[in-house]
Amino acid sequence: MADTTLETDRKRKAPAYAKAGIPDYWILDVNTPQVYVFREPMGRNYRQETIFDEDVI
């Protein structure tokens, strides 16, 4: 869950998790509310990033 750490979760943790081969990485932004879903790691990036807003979640 991300409150004040959304920037850190997206810019620092996501590349580290992708590099480690974590297949799915999800972040819940409680301020908006939105869910960020990262899939298909390749190197230090994910090929797919989907953002779901409150209408979907």
Structurally, the chain folds into a number of domains equal to 1
Measured CA distances, 41 to 28, 33, 54 (Å): 19, 25, 26
Residue of 11, 41, 10, 7 whose CA lies nearest to 24: 41
Cβ-Cβ contacts under 8 Å for 57 (sequence gap 6 or more): 33, 34, 35
Which range marks the domain in which residue 22 is found? 6-53
Q: pLDDT band for 55, please (50, 70, 90 cuts).
A: confident
Q: What is the pTM of this model?
A: 0.84
Does any domain span residue 28? yes
Does any domain span residue 29? yes
Q: pLDDT band for 57, please (50, 70, 90 cuts).
A: low
C-beta separation of 2 from 13 below 8 A:
no
Side chain identity at 16, as an amino acid letter?
A: A
Does any domain span residue 46? yes
d(CA 54, CA 40): 24
pLDDT tens column, 16-51: 999 999 999 999 988 888 999 999 999 999 999 999
Does any domain span residue 1? no
Does any domain span residue 15? yes
